[in-house]
Structure 1
């Protein structure tokens, strides 16, 4: 019972390594304590239970903010929202239960622990559309280990955190596994030192002025029909204060009307900025009517919409949020509770082959809200791009830790690709992030304002952009196989 309680407490320590707490040493304490609990398990079943309790601590604390959108904006009673959030956390905890189970079966070494952790994190990122949240590597973005990100992304950082933390415990145990784990840990530390000397991307033009407009329209008012005219006024007035020559960015669904409904207004804003030597990119819902019916999409467009080649400069979001932007099995569950009928929850995903956007002569890779969390998608679209842009509306999660965790994970994409990231949001965090993942400028949350800054266009390719997750998955499997061989010899 004591070790089960320790596993739960160890999991509760894990989120403290992430925003808004940023106590990154707690990451190693948490993982090390979890590995210790695994070592003390006397059966695979007990190892699974301890791993599940560890994961329950991670997600029970780390994503407790999910209930905010359900209760505050999804009109779900609190007595329902909290259990729904708990069920979600309990499901996600199964991945850590499986990791501990596999590790126990294959010899309980630090190598196997790190390998199984990485594989199951990867599975969690795509299974049932995926929930790629709170990967261990994100906790290392502001540490000396961060230069590993352009080489192996958040995956290599995750492997590093788990391997180093578990090796410290492994060294106190008998057997040859401890020396293998120690040797690999030394190699990781040496690679980190070398990574500090490497640069993979280079400037590709002069610094470009950019203005990110933060409308700060309360979520409980944003979708009301009576707010439509006022919303236009807010964004128009804020944009009118921006000097000439700026790339102006409005956030996700800045305007809650379809582009096809407010074409004149949006195009006039774009033309006015163009006349002053600027550019305009905005998030806007999109509606397409064809023989197959009506399709709705969550989109981002460069205005004027049609470029010199006559093609539309619009990107439709690919990774949709379950229940927020589409409802799985909607024919069965729509109407059961108000949460399943949130505004704009009937979107269709965009085509993966869509081109990037172009603004003021620069190619910009666009990402909308949740999809900035997918490392491979961002890495793939970044080829040939001068900068990254992500727009979001994190007002769904109020003053909780959710928006700050989201912001931290977005910063990792800039580091992985060696490109500046422009992040426009409705109520924060609106920011400009450099190619090292550092915040250059940012607006406070929950303020209506314009962030005037600049970014550096960059070109080049990082190793992670070329390889993605695959080398690290292969390494993880090798660690699992090696652990199995040691287990057979015992």
Structure 2
């Protein structure tokens, strides 16, 4: 009877792997059912054990990865429909290619686990699984242009307590810690003592990060902010006939301050479609309109001519009420196919996409000074998921401002995942984050990742909040991903030593 069940499982193993991967994505926002993700990986390892060929092991990982990534990233296809770039058909094809590419690494992970695992050596096999899962999780997030959107550690983004280890371990270190928890569950019926051994690191790090990371530095008291979410659809946003009414809507949402002074008003990404530096009249109009506002941050388009070539940038502008020059930050990490076409020069018709011109990547990073006490780190859209790329080395800042436009993705999982990754970034840095979306989810996030206040998706409005700002020096600020790489090296050295000792025993 058991033999028949095993035959049936093997017969449908690829389908089961795909289903397990799809269920595994439920640990990501907005569902956050992390237990299902952990169990889906555990069952996929059990499924891997039953395979008798390396090729089948590869396919188990491939189909698990396809299920996980398609279920997690399907929403990218919506942007193709919204942007009128081939609709759902081309969007679905693009999503499948991306997910297949990422799933290849899952396939390679399972292949190598099967190839190098040893009979009757649970400890070695457990370390091997942790090493390979952790390493390829990092590879998937950093290869080529980099896309660290779905690290396994992001399943812990739902609560400030479970977010805390990010401040110590970083994204990839916390992913490794999560895989130790997976192994603890996997070993529960095989070897309870070994299971407890792998369970302990997770509990220890979770406890330490929540109770010892309390080095808080006071920054500013009574800092009054307003976050403006206009909820303008993409069709209306790019309609030239509605440019004036869209602009007026933003002004109306900003001016309704009942006579009180506001230190900072923030508009979302590309909230204006002109260069505020070049349009002096509009810049003067804004300053005249917002006399009770100390500073306003606006997402817009910046244009410049370099060597007779016109360049455009997706930029964040800072305008104060003291007639100082407008400061700006140009987006450095652009979205492939959204803001530029990779390898456009190889296309026969270079003008067929995006009107023949790409956004240019910002070359110089500008921290923006609000006043004598506050300096901000500006992040545009998904720059928020790249902790090391999007800031100068050894830079000092007090507050993170992230402007974005999640209207591309409708009411899908995308905006919720984007918010979750923003919460992780706030914890990594130990800084407050002011996150403003055109539509999506605008929010004030504290330095522990807690959502202080938010505007939900497809809602128009603003958040008014008087903040007492704090920041804390996190271990991750000092070490970056060094802890993760050290642990990877330690793991591989231990694996080599165990393998070497086993080799000597076999010879004897």
Q: CA RMSD in A?
A: 2.6
Q: Distance in 1 between matches of 2:387 and 2:288?
A: 35
Q: 2:312 aligns to what? A: 296
Give the TM-score normalised by structure 1. Answer: 0.91
Q: Distance in 1 between matches of 2:307 and 2:408?
A: 34
> How much has 1:219 moved relative to structure 2?
0.6
Q: Distance in 2 between matches of 1:344 and 1:222?
A: 20
Kindly indicate whether structure 1 or structure 2 has the higher relative contact order, using CA contacts under 8 Å at least 6 residues apart.
1
Give 3-state SS (helix, strand or coil) of 2:311's partner: strand
Q: 2:327 aligns to what? A: 313
Q: Distance in 2 between matches of 1:434 and 1:254?
A: 25
Deviations 1:58-108 (A, max 9, x none): 111111111111123233143333233222211111121122222223327
Q: 1:269 aligns to what? A: 286
Q: Distance in 1 between matches of 2:385 and 2:480?
A: 14
Residue 203, structure 1, aligned to residue 223, structure 2: no
Residue 100, structure 1, aligned to residue 123, structure 2: no
Residue 127, structure 1, aligned to residue 143, structure 2: yes
Residue 137, structure 1, aligned to residue 153, structure 2: yes
Q: How many residues align?
A: 481
Deviations 1:125-171 (A, max 9, x none): 22221111111111112354322111112222211221111232135
Q: 2:248 aligns to what? A: 233
Q: Distance in 2 between matches of 1:407 and 1:479?
A: 33
Contact 1:150 1:418 in 2 (8 A): yes
Q: 2:302 aligns to what? A: 286
Contact 1:13 1:26 in 2 (8 A): yes
Among 87, 90, 101, the residue aligned to 1:91: 101
Give 3-state SS (helix, strand or coil) of 1:278's partner: strand
Deviations 1:406-444 (A, max 9, x none): 111111111111111100110120110111101101112
Among 441, 455, 458, the residue aligned to 1:446: 458
Q: Distance in 2 between matches of 1:117 and 1:334?
A: 41
Bigger mean CA deviation after superposition, 52-61 or 353-362: 353-362
Q: 1:33 aligns to what? A: 43
Give 3-state SS (helix, strand or coil) of 1:399's partner: coil
> How much has 1:397 moved relative to structure 2?
0.6
Residue 347, structure 1, aligned to residue 362, structure 2: no
Q: Distance in 2 between matches of 1:15 and 1:337?
A: 38
Unaligned runs of 5+ in 1: none
Residue 185, structure 1, aligned to residue 202, structure 2: no
Contact 1:106 1:483 in 2 (8 A): no
Q: Distance in 1 between matches of 2:96 and 2:107?
A: 16
Q: Distance in 2 between matches of 1:374 and 1:271?
A: 37
Q: 1:479 aligns to what? A: 491
Bigger mean CA deviation after superposition, 256-265 or 154-163: 256-265
Contact 1:327 1:334 in 2 (8 A): no
Contact 1:270 1:280 in 2 (8 A): no
Q: 2:370 aligns to what? A: 359
Q: 1:412 aligns to what? A: 424
Q: CA 1:214–1:486 in 2, change beyond 3 Å: closer, same or farther?
A: same
Bigger mean CA deviation after superposition, 423-432 or 103-112: 103-112
Contact 1:60 1:89 in 2 (8 A): yes
Give the TM-score normalised by structure 2. Answer: 0.87
Residues 68-87 of structure 1 aligned to structure 2 (within 5 Å) = 68-87=78-97
Q: CA 1:159–1:10 in 2, change beyond 3 Å: closer, same or farther?
A: same
Q: CA 1:106–1:276 in 2, change beyond 3 Å: closer, same or farther?
A: same
Q: CA 1:258–1:318 in 2, change beyond 3 Å: closer, same or farther?
A: same
Give 3-state SS (helix, strand or coil) of 2:369's partner: strand
Q: CA 1:252–1:263 in 2, change beyond 3 Å: closer, same or farther?
A: farther
Q: 1:327 aligns to what? A: 341
Unaligned runs of 5+ in 2: 1-10, 119-124, 504-508
Q: Distance in 2 between matches of 1:441 and 1:77?
A: 35
Q: Distance in 2 between matches of 1:380 and 1:182?
A: 42
Contact 2:181 2:198 in 1 (8 A): no
Q: Distance in 1 between matches of 2:60 and 2:477?
A: 36
Q: Distance in 2 between matches of 1:56 and 1:115?
A: 21
Q: CA 1:66–1:258 in 2, change beyond 3 Å: closer, same or farther?
A: same
Contact 1:379 1:416 in 2 (8 A): no
Deviations 1:286-319 (A, max 9, x none): 01123352221111111049986x6x52111111
Bigger CA radius of gyration:
2
Contact 1:278 1:360 in 2 (8 A): no
Q: Distance in 2 between matches of 1:379 and 1:155?
A: 19
Q: CA 1:371–1:164 in 2, change beyond 3 Å: closer, same or farther?
A: same
Q: CA 1:227–1:24 in 2, change beyond 3 Å: closer, same or farther?
A: same
Q: Distance in 2 between matches of 1:54 and 1:269?
A: 52
Among 29, 35, 45, the residue aligned to 1:19: 29
Contact 2:293 2:321 in 1 (8 A): no
> How much has 1:285 moved relative to structure 2?
0.8
